[in-house]
Amino acid sequence: MSHQSELIASDIDAYLAQHEQKELLRFITCGSVDDGKSTLIGRLLYDSKMIYEDQLAKLQKDSVTHGTTGGEFDPALLTDGLRAEREQGITIDVAYRYFSTAKRKFIIADTPGHVQYTRNMATGASTADLAIILIDARHGVMEQTRRHSFIVSLLGIKHILVAINKMDLLNFDQAIYEQIRADYLEFATRLSIPDLHFIPISALKGDNLVDRSTKMPWYNGPTLMEFLENVYIGSDRNLEDFRFPVQYVNRPHLDFRGFCGTVASGVVRVGDEIMAVPSRKTSRVKEIVTFDGNVSEAFAPLSVTLTLTDEVDISRGDMIVRPGNVPTVGSKFEAMLVWMSDEPMLPGKNYLIKHCTKSVSGQIQQLKYQVDVNSLQRVDASRLELNQIGRCVIQLTETIAYDDYRRNRGMGGFIVIDRITNATVGAGMIHPRHTSEDRPDHWDNAGIETLQVDQSHVGAAQREIRYGQKPVTILLTGVPGAGKTSTALALEKAWFDEGRTVVSLDGEQMRAGLSRDLDFSPEHRSENLRRAAEVAKLINDSGLICILSMVAPSEEIRQKAADLVGRSRFLIVHLHADEAICRQRDQEGHYRDDRPSLNYEAPVAPDLKIDTATTDPATVVQLVRQLVHVRGYLS
């Protein structure tokens, strides 16, 4: 269903062109049973004039015999179409509805609230950009509310709207709304939900759905429709890691060989160098073919056919990627698993694992733990029952190419299929070992107090006399292109010429050696800085000056590094410049269009802040040297 537009009558081609360019938002409604999910969707479409007249007439007629509102119009019947759903007044299967407004196109998935149909809810959530979690204001946060919230978080949905429903039954009491909001926030702090919002509503009466309610003047936020039309999802898709699972090799005649599939993530352009995984053969993109003709580039989730400049052996199930950005290839990994079958999950039993376009035989080798959805605590268990969630070790008979689900939903998800019945029995999200969830927090010193470290026979005072300096670490931090490395090298040379004993340590040096196993995720950036700080501490313990030049984007991690080295011998120098200047200086491709922006947090209280765009390099070096002299580290 689409919104009414004057263009439909005057210029249908212009209307269709305008409609085609609208952004699509997929969202689900979920929560506990009888929280009002189907009613919400029905009322939303009714109030926004998205129900055809004949359909509305039938709904009003059905409301008399099947409705749960005492013969009045029951909006829930719009999505509850199954006979069993109407007889029981519940949702059993996922119901999809499509509509559009002047700003956006929408696909709604109305998911069931009953515990036994949790698998249906997970299915509807697997492709959603946003989730609306309904809470009945009379009952507050229920177990199924927590279960659905955990699954939504697990599935990587970044935008959550908690709609506190049936406020009309509680006289639109603000205190009740605030209490439920506080209860949910207390639970949600343990989940990964980057964008969380709350709206008090009455789905049956239409309060705060399309039009603002006059009965809740204490609420001044957006209505539900305003939120849906304006929530920003443009940065949600992974456009950095190009992944193209090959679904079919098209060979219609001798002069054409194309590789068909859907772009799972990233962007590909004509002329790009590519690599086939697992063979690792390279070539270049010759053409990007679509039904409407050739295009110059393609991005997720477009379905295209790629032709290459070379004859490369690529088959269904292989992956086309970029040579410098290759996914993990392996046959063993760890994953969070949502079990969807009445038959329990048994470690050691053989299943089919379908990942992207490839189906591989394998088994769930080990169940590491089960998650209690109420407390989010890990519980020891020998198997998973229906709707239970746990972390497993999965062993396959062949290798697959995959990414961490949290980074790339299209490449990190898979389903488990029963080999006998061919039924889908589980859905998994790959989380490789040594991720932030399982990696011990190396910043935490717990457990190392029992280590016996022999003390040096040379004291700090003796080193200070010998070298004529006090040890200090100067952290040069800033975005790529701000001038950290050039400043560090110039400082090192100036102090060396002065007779000082100084060591320069760069983030790239670390990644070429001690940190070659780390990527550029926030967790691994933190670990890279920790390792560098450990080295800097050893350098300082030897009485030397350490110049540490690293991006170090997190303020919290920078402060941890200061604690590790020692606050009395740690200085933070923030080098900054306009983005345009940094882009001009960029030699490593940090500002490429297909890379996401770096979430850099400027230091709250740096010891020194210098604009390298307006300060010449010699002056920058001199200012840092003055800081170190003033603080008393150099005699």
pLDDT digits (tens, 9 = 90+) for 414-433: 999 999 999 999 999 998 86
Q: Rounded CA gap, 223 and 260, in Å?
A: 42
Q: Which residues of 323-350 are buried (b: 16+ CB within 10 A; e: fewer)?
A: eeebbbeeeebbbbbbbbbeeebeeeee
Q: Which residue from 434, 243, 432 is spatially nearest to 332, judged by alpha carbons?
A: 432
Rounded mean pLDDT of the chain? 84
Supply the CATH classification number for the domain 462-630: 3.40.50.300
Report the pLDDT averaged over residues 5-23.
Answer: 65
pLDDT(129) > 80: yes
* CB-CB contact of 303 with 289 (8 Å): no
Token pair listed for 308:
């290459």
Span 509-533, mean pLDDT? 84
For residue 220, what pLDDT is reported? Answer: 92
Domain 243-321, second-level architecture: Beta Barrel (2.40)
The mean per-residue pLDDT over the stretch 403-409 comes to 90
Has residue 70 got a pLDDT over 60? no
- pLDDT tens per residue, range 315-343: 999 999 999 889 999 999 999 999 989 99
Q: Residue range 443-469: average pLDDT?
A: 70
Tell whether the torsion through CA atoms of 484, 490, 493 and 496 is positive or negative: negative
Give the residue from 96, 173, 91 showing the smallest Cα distance to 134. 91
Query: Rounded distance, CA 98 to CA 24, Å?
Result: 10
Cα 264 from Cα 237, distance rounded (Å): 10
Helix locations, 388-473, DSSP H: 409-412, 460-467
Inform me whether the pLDDT recorded for 447 exceeds 60: no
Per-residue pLDDT band for 403 (boundaries 50, 70, 90) equals very high
Q: β-strand 95-100 against 104-110: which pairing, if any?
A: antiparallel
SS3 letters across 494-536: HHHHCCCCEEEEEHHHHHHCCCCCCCCCHHHHHHHHHHHHHHH
**Nearest alpha carbon to residue 28 among 110, 101, 91, 94:** 110
Q: Let me know: does 634 contact 500? Beta carbons within 8 Å.
A: yes
What pLDDT score was predicted for residue 84?
Answer: 43
Q: Give which of 387, 385, 378, 380 is closest to 366, Cα–Cα.
A: 380
The CATH code of the domain at 7-230 is 3.40.50.300
Indicate whether 355 pLDDT > 80.
yes
Lowest mean pLDDT among 142-146, 305-309, 356-360, 468-472: 142-146
pTM of the predicted model as reported, rounded to 2 decimal places: 0.61
pLDDT in the model for residue 188? 86
Rounded Cα distance, 37 and 39, in Å: 5
* 357 token code pair: 């376009």
Instruction: Please list the residue range(s) of the chain that carry CATH number 3.40.50.300.
Output: 7-230, 462-630
* 1 band by pLDDT with thresholds 50, 70 and 90: very low
In the prediction, which pLDDT does 285 show?
A: 96
- Cis amide linkage into residue 200, ω under 30° from 0: no
pLDDT tens across 381-390, in order? 888 998 889 9
- Residues 6+ away with beta carbon under 8 Å from 20: none
| Ranges for all domains in the chain classified under CATH 2.40.30.10 | 243-321, 330-430
Give residue-wise pLDDT tens across range 131-147: 999 999 999 998 888 88
Q: How is domain 330-430 classified at the CATH fold level?
A: Elongation Factor Tu (Ef-tu); domain 3 (2.40.30)
d(CA 542, CA 502): 11
Residues 110-115, mean pLDDT to the nearest whole number: 70
Each residue of 42-61: pLDDT tens digit? Answer: 788 777 766 656 666 666 66
Better-scored residue on pLDDT, 526 or 590? 526
pLDDT at 476: 95
Q: Compute the distance between CA of residue 24 and CA of residue 50 in angstroms, rounded to an integer.
A: 17
* Rounded Cα–Cα distance for residues 539 and 537 (Å): 5
